Structure 1
Amino acid sequence: MAAMRKKAVRFSAQDDLCLLREVVAQNPFSDKGKWATVAMEVTSTVDRQGFDVDTRRVRERTILLLEQFKKSDNDAAKKSGTNEEVGGKEELLQEILDLASEEEIAKETAKKKKEKEESKAKEMRKRAMETLRPEVSEGEPGPSSCNKTSVIAYLSEKAQSEQDLRKEELQLEKEKLKLEKERLEFQKEERRQQLEMEKKEKSMMFKMMQALIDNVNKD
């Protein structure tokens, strides 16, 4: 018997906000494995029966929202949420676009650096081979000790190049970790403020309802 297909999950405006906050917090563009964490956090946060999303669903939903945002096609979002929700969604989407762009730039920079180093190493090997296989004219002596000196110089230059590349990679990784730490701190503070605001709103709603009940009882 064929397995039953999983029922599609629909996202509300609030669900989208929850998803986008997690994407910003986890930054799955730098680590694809973080999509699983995003799915788990969103599923546990959205308190609605039957709401269960997997890695593929949150990734596809995020991509769809980004495409709509880039095309400035937010009519559907505006119809399904308040102005405050729409504004918050646009800010989060812009931040996510910035994260994705940063990762693309980092990957392109790393790719170009690797190509440059490979080209340099190839040229150095070529020069070394030319030195090891000199053209010997009739009556001239064969390869001398100068060839050995050239090989040693090549190996030394190669080792220095690899060492410099490693230092650059370590520095880049250090800067990346620093930026990630600052981003997480910012997100932590933003969440704290959001929770504080929600707490105040709930308290105000409770007081208003209590006052309304008291007025009804007096009548």
Structure 2
Amino acid sequence: MNDVSFAVLDVAPEPYSVTPILMARIGIACIAEEPVHAIALKCQVRIDPSRRPYDDEEAAGVVELFGPREQWPASQHTFLWQHATAMVPGFTGTTQIQLPIYCTYDFEVVAAKYLHALHEGAVPLQFLFSGTVFTAGNRGFVVHQVPWDRDERYDMPVTVWHDLMRQHFPNTGWLRLNHDTIEALAAYRAARGLLGLDDAITSLLAQDSARSAR
């Protein structure tokens, strides 16, 4: 259905969610005269790292993903962040919806690792829309497909991501450790009466720093 188009108007943290979610405000327009009954909307949200510059600190943060700067022309390709979906209620002419983007702070996930490395500027996003449009017909509903070329670029301020993470994980981050390491840290914490695993790691780092200073 060539009469339908999409625009990304805004991306902001959802303030009342239990888990970290960004809400993308999507504007939808249909120039056809007949009303749209509903749209089963799908969206592939991608990150295009080559669309922005990087300072030296940010470049060091993404070296694990793209290698050193001299490799970036070959290694910095658009990559998938996630698939998002939403049901669009019926409308005539134009409407707006909220498209949820579910986020994680797990640094083993490529997108989270990339986003954590950025300190200022914008995150270069690309929204690829697809889905099914339902309109009224003589014998019920007529089904149309969203054209394959409906995509939009959006530069999301880096502060939006950091505000979302501070909202859900204030002054904290995530590390993945194997079970043996976790058990060893737990035993170390218990033997010394420490409050948590963070205190155990801090204690071990302090001991290592003291040995290095000798």
TM-score (norm 1): 0.20
- Between 1 and 2, higher relative CO (CA 8 Å, sep ≥ 6) is seen in 2
The structure with the largest helix share of the pair is: 1
